[in-house]
Homo-oligomer: A and B are copies of this chain.
Amino acid sequence: MAEHESHQSNDSPLLETVSLFQGLAPAERQEVYQAAHHRAVEKGELFFVQGEEAHTLYVLTQGRVRLNQLSPEGEQVLLRVIVPGQLFGGVAVLSGTAYPAAAEAVVPSEALGWDGETMARLMERYPAIARNALRLLAERIQELQERYRELATERVERRVASAVLRLARQTGRKVEGGILIDFPLSREDLAAMTGTTLYTVSRILKRWEKEGLVEAGRQRLLIRSPHGLVALAEDLPPALEAPS
């Protein structure tokens, strides 16, 4: 029957953990799931491009997606990295405008999509979805405001430290020796997240490596000492090795 070739179920076990659908009964989630269409994109491909009229709101189910915003002059900013369970494209759909950024899969990725009208209908029927959406957007605003302040008032090294920690929290995988950022992340990506250049990021990572804070490879970042980075991000006195 109408069955997607999904990974491990024809049910909506995945949606259980999606905060947009929190508070729905299983049967309701099932209905929401039925209304979705499934989309898979290759590494490097886009779910949507910046400027395209927004039609679909996605929830990522597999992979990692970057939201890039391009300035009129062609400079890129990496607004955020989406991990499974998170919403993307929603802002544009809800405000009825064009996508303000492009969504690029950094690894092979899959998502569920609902077009604007469908989602409006679902929200109508299940106000909990609208409430959740409000809460999610409000949280996004708070985070954005904080990052805005960070960018406005803090030096590069600290911004990079914050960005790395944020990534670690979002998409870090515990491995022996530390926390590994779980997708290919280049110096240039980090630069685009923090408003600096890839050269400066490279130098900073080298320095951190010397200090034993991280282990940085080609598109790879292992955080050996989250504490050390937190200290940097918050400008604590650089943690003495052996307090007397």
Chain A positions near chain B (C-beta within 8 angstroms): 69, 71-73, 75, 77, 79, 90-92, 94-97, 100-101, 123-124, 127, 130-131, 133-135, 137-142, 144-154, 194-195, 234-235
Contact = CB atoms under 8 A, between A and B. Distances in A.
A142 B100 contact: yes
Given A130-B131, A145-B101, A148-B147, A139 B235 contact: no
Copies of this chain: 2
The secondary-structure label for the interface of chain A is helix
A137 to B, nearest CB: 4
B140 A141 contact: yes
A144 B97 CA distance: 15
Contacts of A96: 135
A99 to B, nearest CB: 10
A178 B80 CA distance: 40
B235 A138 contact: no
